[in-house]
Chain A
Amino acid sequence: QKEVEQNSGPLSVPEGAIASLNCTYSDRGSQSFFWYRQYSGKSPELIMFIYSNGDKEDGRFTAQLNKASQYVSLLIRDSQPSDSATYLCALRRTGFQKLVFGTGTRLLVSP
């Protein structure tokens, strides 16, 4: 079982809709969770991180964490064509500095 699992997609949503991206992980020792966005041919950039159960909102983005279910999600409200990218879920285990990434979910937002 992979440490971080993501559906590769593509996930297609119309402009203005809510995009829901999901991630599951296998190690209960995981402490912090990160969502990175990567445009084609570019490097990953951090959108937000979460380490407490529940929701964390930042503008149009909401990260949700459920440690009991080992599940992390990212909601993008009012999706825009400029949100079309690959979204990478990453985790950091307690006591470790390195980030472990999933393979990413490709999001396509159509006008």
Chain B
Amino acid sequence: DAGVIQSPRHEVTEMGQEVTLRCKPISGHNSLFWYRQTMMRGLELLIYFNNNVPIDDSGMPEDRFSAKMPNASFSTLKIQPSEPRDSAVYFCASSFGRENEKLFFGSGTQLSVL
């Protein structure tokens, strides 16, 4: 298996622009998580899906952030409009969703908003 696939690896954009991050989970996994990592705040959970349904989006910073999972093999995280404080590494992770099942992380997207 190719693992969790994220794209793009790097994204540089200007403040106010729309940014879309993409994730393909491991086939057969039914849970998908979006995390954001910064030096100051560490790894923060933004939202997670179970069987394509959003379960907890309490970590989504504000209305500028939205996430979708139209099917079991694809998810997007969108930021509109982007701001410099959104600069971070965004990780997607998936798992089988069973208790104590480990998370498999993608390589992350390094986002820089100028």
State in angstroms the CA–CA spacing of A9 and B100 once bound together: 27
B47 to A, closest residue via Cβ: A98
A90 to B, closest residue via Cβ: B43
Q: Contact at B45–A88, with CB atoms within 8 Å?
A: no
State in angstroms the CA–CA spacing of A34 and B43 once bound together: 14
Within 8 A of B (CB), among A44-67: 44-46, 49, 51
Most buried by A among B43, B45, B99, B103: B43
State in angstroms the CA–CA spacing of A102 and B33 once bound together: 17
Q: Size of chain A's interface in residues, with CB distance under 8 A?
A: 20
Q: Contact at A43–B105, with CB atoms within 8 Å?
A: yes
Which of B41, B45, B99, B107 contacts A98 (CB under 8 A)?
A: B45
Total number of residue pairs linking A and B with CB closer than 8 Å: 46
Which of A45, A46, A88, A97 contacts B31 (CB under 8 A)?
A: A97
Which of A43, A51, A101, A104 contacts B106 (CB under 8 A)?
A: A43
1/0 per residue, CB under 8 A from A, across B59-89: the answer is 0000000000000000000000000000000
State in angstroms the CA–CA spacing of A96 and B42 once bound together: 20
Q: Contact at A43–B97, with CB atoms within 8 Å?
A: no
| Residues on the A chain within 8 Å of B33, using CB | 98-99
| Residues on the B chain within 8 Å of A109, using CB | none
Given contacts A44-B43, A97-B50, A104-B42, 6 further A-B contacts (CB under 8 A): A32-B99, A42-B107, A43-B108, A44-B103, A96-B56, A98-B45
19 contacts between A and B (CB under 8 A): A32-B100, A34-B102, A43-B107, A44-B103, A44-B105, A45-B105, A49-B100, A49-B102, A88-B42, A88-B43, A92-B100, A96-B56, A97-B97, A98-B33, A98-B56, A100-B45, A101-B35, A102-B42, A104-B42
